Structure 1
């Protein structure tokens, strides 16, 4: 077994109920995987599908810039704040039950968003949507961990990574298609309403194929860590709100005070969780998970790759729509090569030669650094970049896939089944925070650079984009160095 092939649960304990050691002779694990990944895809789609509808929402609802920012960010804020809580609820109440409940809440909130009559309603229902996702999504990794073993688990995690890749670009494309089609004169509303029939179908299928919860599981008796939940929710809120709204408000004093307070609360949270574990309690995030070999490095890598991915998509979208004048649909289609390559690599890297496996992660980050810098260079003259742009896009897709998918697989390879909820919630939260940080940091760099250069013409926008691509390349390089340092140790 290579270092990238996840180990299964403790053999002495035997297979867990519903686990199939030979998925080739039993279609139930495949149906389970299809259902949970469909729900994952729908929730991820909703993060990006709204972006291209924002101008239409603003004109039809007469929304201010800050209100539109909250329409986009409200989902992500609730999602990031409640993810780890959602993971623990699955541990407490059963992963099947909580997954379906979160899916139902997400679907109902999508309907409410599509019928909203004002920005206040839309912002509120977007928060509810994010809460539904936060309850639903952590169960995906937990169900994979508990129902797949060995090579089957590695394949399932590869499919999970591919869904994460394609969901982002698919959201941009589908959003452009729905807004451009203006179905029944509904304008922006179909970007939310499309979730309703899909969510209902997944609910019906999920109630049939997801394994019954084991009510006798000993970990289910652990009490919910309410003080830890409050500390973590407050810390994440204080971190994400200024990251999302700081640029819109020109980084006022309250945003910096909020970030400082978030640092203090994160420290208090860690101290409280450690003390609770020493006293024999059940902390929200078990310290043994954080101390597990490779988890700390995985957190850094996933944070870095998600920040690069989100910053790349966000700043490039601003350039090609604002600077080059692309339509929403054409802008979404521009990202298709990156998503397709990411998905293909995420599904196939485990079958590459064993001698390559140890070098995949650092090489992936290095390729990402070179490729994003190349994107900035080929677009620096304010034109469409020609064939070289799509070659660079493919390099970004390959590099991000190699930075993310093997990292996730290795991080979860030896996590014990009873820690699956904690590990899944932690890594999902890191994924979301990485995206928020990427949009905030690199989006701020792009907008500030654009403002200093003057009007958003194609050339000045390209100059601002080049500065961002260089910063993204530097971030990816840090990921490559972290991999090399880990190998030497």
Structure 2
């Protein structure tokens, strides 16, 4: 009897470890593909003859689709089952990765990047849900700790892995392996996941807000597309008209949300203490983050002539600082958890200012470059991670999935807008040696604004627990 009793928990732990490996590997691939293309962008430009706006669409197309469908993906998981949606999203993501790797032109690549983002949006929201229904107690805490580590590592690994794959130029395929690497991994995860993922509970009390999805998607596209294409097209009239119409589309979205029975963003979420301020701060942090990665990848390779591998490796100090900060900020006394957001935003801005000084001479400015990258990574983690925690702390359990979807959407939209705005700024100044310096100064301003969003949080009560 003792042997049976001992083996049962051991078997359960093994099953949980395998499940966690599968779903976090899917999560990791989704995060990886938001950044792995940055380092490969100059090679794509040369191979496909892509314009600057085309490159921005290759990068932003993924995150636009990803951001727009995240909340819907979370809602569909509740309606149809977390396992089914995870596997469906993973299959779409894997197939789209194959087509991206085989794309013969920039237009085809952009189209399948949109499909790839849609697959990621179906897959990623199910990860937390599967953790919640599979783990409990201390094991859930450990699972969430690994989840946080994967999120913090994914972005920078994308930069480094992208550099390795592009530099290797496997079989003369240049940039294509940055997409094709997902295919064997995705197929393996599908085979294991189909056998090991549990058939989780289905929540049928919530419907799908199609009008909200359509109006929000329209609003974002009307805003982002002109920002991405404006510089290349010399800021045509249609772009300004589209951006004006985006304001009306956002207003229409708010009206639709007030009238629908199952809104994408329930009003009570935004009324929860700290959610609106934290969501705004997350948007600005990720705008600075997305713009920084895109502009620096182009500057290091195009302006300074670095190889893709060297450019990717220069981001390692930022990744290490981001990971260490995101995993350890909770060790601070609870009374400092909110003030650290503002302090970290100041650190980020200081890092951007140091970066501007390092690049002002026209070279790498080492070792100040690596120091400033590390400061930026630590500061962004110290702003982003506590903002997420504050935003979710007072959300009712019934709204947890929608709150996670909302914050994930703000995270992705921030990156899209950051790439569009700061990419346009950098490209409009390039090849001037001052392009990276001026961009860094504006990034510092946005980072400070993100910290400013946290100031109202300092006057609210401490989070429970």
For 2:406 and 2:222, locate their aligned partners in 1 and report how far apart those are by CA, in whole Å.
18
Residue in structure 1 matching 2:356, options 376, 379, 399: 376
> For residues 411 and 34 of structure 1, do their structure 2 counterparts lie closer, same or farther at Cα, with a shift above 3 Å needed?
farther
> What is the distance in 2 between the residues matched to 1:250 and 1:377?
30
Moved more, 224-233 or 61-70: 61-70
Matched, 1:126 2:113: yes
Matched, 1:410 2:387: no
Task: Map residues 47-58 of structure 1 onto 2, 5 A cutoff.
Answer: 47-58=34-45
Would the alpha carbon gap of residues 154 and 437 (structure 1) be closer, same or farther in structure 2, given more than 3 Å must change?
farther
Q: Superposed, which structure 2 residues align to 1:206-217 within 5 Å?
A: 206-215=193-202, 217=203
Task: Provide the rounded CA distance (Å) in 1 between the counterparts of 2:362 and 2:161.
Answer: 27
- Distance change in 2, residues 1:98/1:326 (3 Å): same
Residues 54 and 106 of structure 2 are in contact (CA less than 8 Å); yes or no, is this contact kept in structure 1?
yes
- Tell whether the 8 Å contact from 2:38 to 2:294 is kept in structure 1 after alignment: no
Contact 2:278 2:453 in 1 (8 A): no
Q: Any idea what SS the aligned residue of 1:50 has?
A: helix
Deviates more, 1:426-435 or 1:351-360: 351-360
* Worse-matched range after superposition: 114-123 or 248-257: 114-123
Q: Is the 8 A contact 1:81 1:237 kept in 2?
A: no
From 211, 215, 218, give the equivalent of 1:231.
215
* Cα distance in 2 between the residues matched to 1:476 and 1:421: 28
- Is it true that 1:307 corresponds to 2:278 in the alignment? no
CA contact (8 A) 2:338 2:457 kept: no
- The Cα offsets for residues 24-60 of structure 1, whole Å up to 9 and x where unpaired, read as x945555444332221211121122223333433444
Q: Which of 323, 328, 335 is the equivalent residue of 1:348?
A: 328
Report how far residue 177 of structure 1 moved.
1.1
CA distance in 1, matches of 2:227, 2:143: 33
Instruction: Tell me: CA distance 1:479–1:223, structure 2 relative to 1, closer, same or farther (3 Å).
Output: closer
Long gaps (5+) in structure 2: 1-8, 461-465
How far apart, in 2, do the equivalents of 1:29 and 1:404 lie? Answer: 29
Which deviates further from its counterpart, 176-185 or 141-150? 141-150
Counterpart contact for 1:345–1:401, Cα < 8 Å: yes
Per the alignment, residue 258 of structure 2 pairs with: 274
Are residue 430 (structure 1) and residue 391 (structure 2) matched? no
Aligned pairs for 1:9-48 (under 5 A) are: 26=13, 29-48=16-35
**Pick from 404, 426, 430: which aligns with 1:446?**
426
Q: 1:308 touches 1:438 (CA, 8 Å); kept in 2?
A: yes
Deviation at 1:447, TM superposition (A): 2.7
Q: Which moved more, 1:56-65 or 1:35-44?
A: 56-65
Q: Is the 8 Å Cα contact of residues 225 and 284 (structure 1) preserved in structure 2?
A: yes
Q: Is the 8 A contact 1:98 1:139 kept in 2?
A: yes
Alpha-carbon shift at residue 102 of structure 1 (Å): 0.2
Aligned residue for 1:42, secondary structure, equals helix
TM-score normalised per structure 2: 0.89
Residues 65, 344 of structure 1: CA spacing in aligned structure 2 closer, same or farther, 3 A cutoff? closer
Question: In the superposition, relative to structure 1, how do residues 154 and 172 fare at CA in structure 2: closer, same or farther (>3 Å)?
Answer: same
Alpha-carbon distance between aligned partners in 2 of 1:465 and 1:124, rounded to the nearest angstrom: 30
1:466 is aligned to 2:446: no
**Aligned pair partner of 2:87 in 100, 104, 124:** 100
1:253 equivalent in alignment to 2:240: no
Q: Identify which range, 130-139 or 73-82, moves more after superposition.
A: 73-82
SS at match of 2:265: coil
Q: Give, in angstroms, the shift of residue 284 of structure 1.
A: 2.3
Q: CA deviation at 1:213?
A: 1.9
Structure 1 gap segments, 5+ residues each: 1-21, 451-455
- Aligned-partner Cα distance in 2 for 1:188–1:466: 28
How many Å apart are 1:259 and its aligned residue? 1.6
How many angstroms apart in 2 are the aligned matches of 1:29 and 1:310? 34
Partner of 2:57: 70
Tell me, in whole angstroms, the C-alpha distance in 2 between the residues paired with 1:121 and 1:473. Answer: 35
Q: Which residue of 2 aligns with 1:479?
A: 450
The RMSD of aligned alpha carbons is: 2.6
Q: 1:114 to 1:446 in 2, by over 3 A?
A: closer
Q: Is the 8 A contact 1:162 1:342 kept in 2?
A: no
Change in Cα spacing, 1:57 to 1:441, as seen in structure 2 (3 Å) is: closer
Q: 1:485 to 1:73 in 2, by over 3 A?
A: closer
**How far is the alpha carbon of 1:341 from its aligned partner?**
1.3
1:286 pairs with one of 260, 266, 271 = 266
**Distance in 1, Cα, partners of 2:340 & 2:154:** 23
Per-residue deviation, 1:63: 4.6
Alpha carbons 2:318, 2:373 under 8 Å: kept? yes
Distance 2:52 2:450 in 1: 34
2 CA distance for matches of 1:365 and 1:151? 32
Q: Which moved more, 1:352-361 or 1:121-130?
A: 352-361
Residue 345 of structure 2 is aligned to residue 359 of structure 1: no
1:82 matched to 2:53? The reply is no
**How far apart, CA to CA, are the structure 2 residues paired with 1:212 and 1:414?**
29
1:417-454 per-position Cα deviation (integer Å, ceiling 9, x unaligned): 4323321221111111101111222222223334xxxx
Query: What is the TM-score with the length of structure 1 in the denominator?
Result: 0.85
